[in-house]
Amino acid sequence: MATRTVGIIGGGALGLAAALRLAQAGRQVTVLEREPHLGGLATGFQVGGTYLEKFYHHLFGTDRAIIALIDELGLGGRMVWRRPPTSVLYGGRIYRLDGPLEVLQFSPLPLHDRLRLGAALAALKALPHPEPLEGETAAAWLRRWMGERVYRVVWEPLLRGKFAHRAEEIAMPWFWARVHYRTPRLGYLRGGFQLLYEALGEAIRSRGGTVHTGAEARAICSRPGGGATVAVAGLGQLSFDQLLVTLPTRLFKRLAPELPDSYGAEAPEHFGAHCVVLALDRPLQSAYWLNVNDPGYPFLALVEHTNFLPASDYGGRHLVYLGNYLPMDHPLFSASDAEVLAEFLPPLRRLNPAFEPCWVRESWVFKAPFAQPVVTVGYPKRLPPHQTPLPGVYLANMAHIYPQDRGQNYSVRLGERMALRLLADG
């Protein structure tokens, strides 16, 4: 019997994890990635001779699937585990807020509100699954169980910063997942997560698979009897017995005109990611992760990466991310890099009055569409099934990791599950 061929569109965590497991099972796998490098939203770029992600990434202690994969690929010795400060900017001051003691010391709230905040967070940690929370918004639940003042000071600025006009519609199971699975102890792959994706590519090739970068899929057509033919820029027509597509649903529908209009008709809305990375000649502030709860800042989070990893890893550069998730028609996506920096740099003086633009040695602006699913009430019912109406063609993407909304770990886990699904079906 001829070896079954499997095509995978997308070389991010999900597609590569599926490809590796399929190749290990004896399938003839071909990965097609449009970008010049593997990794998807975790792709890195070179800074001071090592990789740094274009969009900030770290792992939590509960991220078992990706930790196991890192170990399997021989990279476990590069993992760094620490507890860098996770803080919030409120009223012009930075407060650490990443553990029970820090919650009790959070002085912008009176003591009874701090106790209420801590008790509700503990309840979410203890709740084993989010089913009791389905059908409720995070805003309503937080107001009811934590109180209006806690919601206004701690959570409303984060929800509005992340989801803009959709903030009041965000589903409570999404919030549960962010509390339940996250840990103050964080992990990072020293040298950058790009090392993981390059190792995945090599592992797939070593098992007879093919990995193409710079290979954009232009069209998907079903084959009689199942499977699909994919038109790929520079490679022509490639035919597969099974096809796994890891693109956002709306992009998949553009590529596959045979799909009925009903498939994915209610696919979740996505925001894009917009991130400025600064290389400074000195530290900016003390926190690693800083949620910006004060008004008047053009970014929702500041992540000073070198308050986790040492600046010496990056040639002495102190690296700061200024990140946003925004509607994809937001003006920042069309602004020039100079215009973005002119808007983003002056507010840094509010964090550190000594800051001067001359501290910036290098800067980069990165943009990515379809980076943040908008997880509203009823979200699971709007997800298209993995098995598409085209026989032998499957869809799995970041939207499917609900109640999570993104994360390398959950993409790896879904990729491994999809590999099992394809093996069982074919």
- What digits encode the pLDDT tens for the residues 290-340? 999 999 999 999 999 999 999 999 999 999 999 999 999 999 999 999 999
pLDDT > 70 fraction of the chain, expressed in percent and rounded: 100
Q: pLDDT class for 135, splitting at 50, 70, 90?
A: very high
* Phi, psi torsion values for 175, nearest 5 degrees: -65, -40
> What tokens were used for 424?
């069982």
Predicted local distance difference test score (pLDDT) of residue 214? 97
Please give the biggest Cα pair distance in the chain.
71
Q: pLDDT class for 1, splitting at 50, 70, 90?
A: low
Helix (H) or strand (E) holding 363: strand 360-373
Q: pLDDT class for 267, splitting at 50, 70, 90?
A: confident
Is the predicted pLDDT of residue 2 greater than 80, yes or no? no
| Fold designation for 5-72+192-267+384-425 | FAD/NAD(P)-binding domain (3.50.50)
Predicted local distance difference test score (pLDDT) of residue 405? 87
Alpha-helix runs per DSSP H in 312-407: 337-344, 348-351, 379-382
Q: What CA–CA distance (Å, rounded) separates 211 from 180?
A: 36
Q: What CA–CA distance (Å, rounded) separates 71 from 38?
A: 19
Q: pLDDT class for 83, splitting at 50, 70, 90?
A: very high
| Helix, strand or coil, per DSSP, at residue 297 | coil
| Fold designation for 99-180 | protoporphyrinogen ix oxidase, domain 3 (1.10.3110)
Q: What CA–CA distance (Å, rounded) separates 422 from 300?
A: 39
> What tokens were used for 302?
């500041």
Q: What is the mean pLDDT of residues 32-42?
A: 97
Predicted local distance difference test score (pLDDT) of residue 268? 87
Q: What is the mean pLDDT of residues 401-410?
A: 93
Determine how β-strand 360-373 pairs with β-strand 318-326: unpaired
Residues pairing with 44 in the sheet: 53
Please, what is the average pLDDT of the chain?
Answer: 96
Q: Residue 405: name the closest of 170, 168, 140, 192 by CA.
A: 170
* Each residue's pLDDT tens digit, 183-236: 999 999 999 999 999 999 999 999 999 999 999 999 999 999 899 999 999 999
Q: 188 with 63: CB under 8 angstroms? A: no
Q: Where exactly are the structural domains of the chain? A: 5-72+192-267+384-425, 99-180
Is the predicted pLDDT of residue 404 greater than 80, yes or no? yes
Q: What is the mean pLDDT of residues 15-43?
A: 97
Q: What is the mean pLDDT of residues 65-75?
A: 98
Tokens 């003006």 belong to 331
Predicted local distance difference test score (pLDDT) of residue 127? 97
Q: What CA–CA distance (Å, rounded) separates 365 from 363?
A: 7
